Chains A and B, each alone.
Chain A
């Protein structure tokens, strides 16, 4: 599978120009995660007042919030990049150019990764400064956790864009909604054991669930969560392949049904 990196970087440049030229977009990129962190930080401070010495309360919630945002922003990197080109009626210029689908996806993956790195750094610094939570307490598992969340974000992003391709710009709200549909199931802020029994197998079929379980395991002083990471990674391979296949299928269907051409001129 050949990849023309010049075209990938051309698209990355397009999104870089967009963010460089748009202060509201730059602010929006960090605004919501920072607000989330502030709210969760104060909630944990309050809970600690109610139950002083509750073990790991701050670390669990802060870690969960930051890790969730990593997944969410990776997904947004892909879906918002696509929406930006729809909103500006540029999508046909792109797909009438020699860009391949995999090059388009690679560019949006890179944009998502860049966003995640920026936001992750900001949140980690704030959590450290304000709530004495050190993200690096997660230890060597931090990197595989991070990679797994980003990959899952990409997979969910591909599904999101595929659905928008099928249902048009009216479905754009899904770019924000789909990750939050997964959040209660991914056991972000609580262990899988809290969920009803019938829901647990579903929760365990989501890669992020194993990351959050692993994170709590490590923060409670457990050893390196090898099994959880293996589960997360294997599931992510399935998610990534499934997401890519679904995206390609829907893109072909959009070409077949004329949705792509129609979307580009809406």
Chain B
């Protein structure tokens, strides 16, 4: 069994005259948490969408869990899951109903027990009978994460999972995700604009700007490459003078 969960090589996506992702190649190992960083418009969401089969690459190759995306899309997605701060569960269904629907979509066995376990894990069990649209954004994020873990995925794609959480809850969620990764060996691809999130959670980081991968390494290596004290300073440097940094700091 390959240790690579994601192998992306030469990924490119062009929309008209805009190159959204350009020659992106990276690997994600089993049990690893990989951060995908970059300013708005860097190509992170397009990259994640290509990994999920929601956008067809213009060029390049994606292998996930040893299979080809999009050719083996269904077989891959059965073993993955995803959560995004910009994607909601249906607001007019109760929390338990939404999780039941997705448990059945992913073919989860003993789904009632699994749902109860996840609701407890994310401390949202008392909300099970609430209508999803009535939840606060923090509660909603945690319910989305319950959905994302329903099928015990081998790969979890998380798009800004702590975007709407207060610092206390964001810390709890980070610990839970770290715990799940440790206990179950789940691999994660993690985008966030919260650099503290990334430093705490991610084993390795990919830095993108204007569709291109400009740096890759552990958070400490990235900081060293850009000569900055924090990832936040690196982020600002990239956002304000991306091309110069890319030339000087490319991995």
Contacts and interface: CB of A to CB of B under 8 A. Distances in A.
Interface string A244-262: 0000000010011110110
A6 B20 CA distance: 37
9 contacts: A6-B107, A88-B89, A92-B87, A93-B88, A93-B147, A95-B53, A98-B73, A258-B15, A261-B46
Contact of A14 (B52, B54, B93): B93
Contacts of A92: 52, 54, 82, 84, 87
A220 interface: no
A142 to B, nearest CB: 35
A171 interface: no
Given A92-B54, A100-B74, A255-B54, A13 B91 contact: no
A22 B104 CA distance: 22
Interface string B78-90: 1001101011111
A88 B49 contact: no
Interface in B40-69: 45-46, 49, 52-56
Contacts of A13: 100-101, 104
B97 interface: yes
B55 A21 contact: no
Nearest to A9: B104
A257 B14 CA distance: 9
B106 interface: yes
A121 interface: no
Interface of B: 13, 15, 20, 45-46, 49, 52-56, 73-75, 77-78, 81-82, 84, 86-94, 97, 100-102, 104-107, 131, 147
A99 interface: yes
A96 B82 contact: yes
Contacts of B131: 21
Give the secondary structure class of A's interface.
helix
Given A98-B77, A258-B15, A89 B87 contact: yes
A97 interface: yes
A89 B101 contact: no
Interface of A: 4, 6-7, 9-11, 13-14, 17-18, 21-22, 84-85, 88-90, 92-100, 252, 255-258, 260-261, 264-265
B88 A90 contact: yes
Nearest to B70: A255
Nearest to A92: B87
B101 A14 contact: yes
A255 B81 CA distance: 19
A6 B91 CA distance: 23
Contacts of B92: 18, 21-22, 88
B90 A90 contact: yes
Contacts of B75: 98
Contacts of B100: 13
A14 B96 CA distance: 11
A84 B54 contact: no
A98 B87 contact: no
Most buried by A among B75, B88, B105: B105
A261 B74 CA distance: 18
* 5 nearest A-B pairs in the assembled complex, by CB-CB distance: A10-B104, A98-B77, A261-B49, A88-B90, A14-B101
